[in-house]
Structure 1
Amino acid sequence: MAYSARVTTQSDEYGRHNVFEDSGYYEAQRPDSEIAEPEDRLAYDDAPVSRWHGGLDFGLLVLRIVLGVALGAHGLQKVFGLFGGPGIAEFARTLAEQGYTSQTTVLAWVGGVTEIAGSGLLILGLFTPVAAGALLAVTANAVYLTYHQGFFQHGEGGFEYHAVLAGVALALLFTGPGRIAIDVHTPWRRKPWPFGIAFLILAAGAVAVLITAFR
C-alpha cells in the first residue's frame, strides 16, 4: 500500500508542511520534488511563546523587582514622606530649584504617583509596556536634570544611578516581562517590539513636554 508523503495542505504558513502539529517539528516540501526531505529542527515561530526559558524568565523577574522596588520606594518618599523622604511639599520645592517654573505641586504628585503605580505594575508583570514606559520617562527626566553634574555619583551629583535605572526600564520595554508575570498570555509579551517602540515614543514625548512646557 502506498501512502502520500504530504500530510498537510499547500496553504500552510510560509509554505512549510507540519508533520506533527504539537511537536514543534516540521517537514519542508520542495515544489520540485514530490517527497520532501525532513528538516529535524524546531519551528521557532511559536517556540518563544510556548516554551519555558527558566533562566531568562527568572532574570527578567529579578530586573522587574529591582527596578520596581527602587523606584517604588522613591515614590513613597516623595508622596508620603516614608523612609525619610521629603513628602509632596518639599519635593515640589525641589522641582522649583531644579528649574520648573509652574505647577510644581501637580508635577510632584504626578511624578510620585507614577513611580508608585508603575513600580507596582512592573513587579506584578501587569501592563508591562505602560509601566516600563512610564518609569523610563521618569528616569530619563532625572538624567536630564542631573547630566550637567557629571556621570559619577559624588554626593548629590551625577546621573549614573538614574542612567542605570533608565537602562533597565528601556530593556524591559523591549524584552517584555517574561513568563513569571500576569501578562504571560498577552500580545505585548509575545511580541514586545511594536509595543516597546510605541511606548518609547510616548515616554520621549512626555519628557519633551516636561522640559518645554514647565521649565
Structure 2
Amino acid sequence: MTATVNATTSKAPTGTDIGLAIVRVSVGGLLAVHGSQKLFGWFNGYGLDATAGAFAHMGYDPGKFFATLAGLSEVVGGLLLALGLLTPLAAAIVLGTMINAVNVARSGGFAMWELPAVYALVAVAFAFAGPGRLSLDAGRPWQRQGLAWSAGAIALGVVAALVTLAVK
C-alpha cells in the first residue's frame, strides 16, 4: 500500500506558501523602507522635517502630524505584512495609506500613482488570501481569515483613508 501526501494537509511548504512569503516580505519590506525614509531619513530619505514640509505643501495640515502618520503607517503596516502578523490589520493599514498616496500622486499622471496603486492592490490581495503558512499568523489562535475579515480589513482601510482625506 502506498501512502499519498495531501498538499493541503502536509506540513511542508507549498509553492503557494513560498510565493506568498516572497511577496509579503518584499512588499512589506519596501513599505517599511519608505516609512523609515520619511521618519528618520534612512536609505537616502528626506527625514521627518523635510517630509513634513512636503506634506504641508500637499495640503496635509499640520504637515508634521500627517508625515509622522504616513511614516508610521508604512513602517508598521510594512513590517506586519512582511512578518505575516495580524495580516488583516496590516492590509488595512497599507491600503489606507496607499489610497492617500494615490490621491496625492494622481495629478502627476499614471507613472506617479502606479506604485502606490500596486501596493494597495497587494494589500487587498493579502486581505483575501491571508499570509500563507510561512508567517507568524499561521496556525495561531489570533489568525483571522475569510471573507468577513477580508471585507472588514478593506472597509477599515478605506474608511481610515477617507477620514484622513477629510481632515487634512
Normalised to the residue count of structure 1, the TM-score between the two structures is 0.70
Structure in which a larger fraction of residues adopt strand: 1
Q: Residues 178 and 189 of structure 1 are in contact (CA less than 8 Å); yes or no, is this contact kept in structure 2?
A: no
- Equivalent of 1:127, from 72, 79, 86? 86
Structure 1: unaligned runs, 5 residues or longer? 1-22, 24-41
In the TM superposition, 1:1-215 aligns within 5 A as: 50-51=9-10, 54-100=14-60, 102-151=61-110, 153=111, 158-186=112-140, 191-214=145-168
* Shift of residue 144, structure 1, vs aligned partner: 1.0
Structure in which a larger fraction of residues adopt helix: 2
Identity %: 36
Over 3 Å counting, the alpha-carbon distance change for 1:191 and 1:210 in structure 2 is closer
Cα separation, 2, equivalents of 1:114 and 1:190? 20
* Shift of residue 192, structure 1, vs aligned partner: 2.9
> Aligned Cα RMSD in Å?
2.1
Secondary structure of 1:185's match?
A: coil
* Shift of residue 211, structure 1, vs aligned partner: 1.0
Deviations 1:100-134 (A, max 9, x none): 2x222111111111111111111111111111110
Cα separation, 1, equivalents of 2:65 and 2:59? 15
Normalised to the residue count of structure 2, the TM-score between the two structures is 0.88
Q: Residues 34 and 74 of structure 2 are in contact (CA less than 8 Å); yes or no, is this contact kept in structure 1?
A: yes
Aligned length: 163
The residue type paired with residue 176 of structure 1 is G
The residue type paired with residue 67 of structure 1 is V
Structure 2: unaligned runs, 5 residues or longer? none
Cα separation, 2, equivalents of 1:97 and 1:187? 44
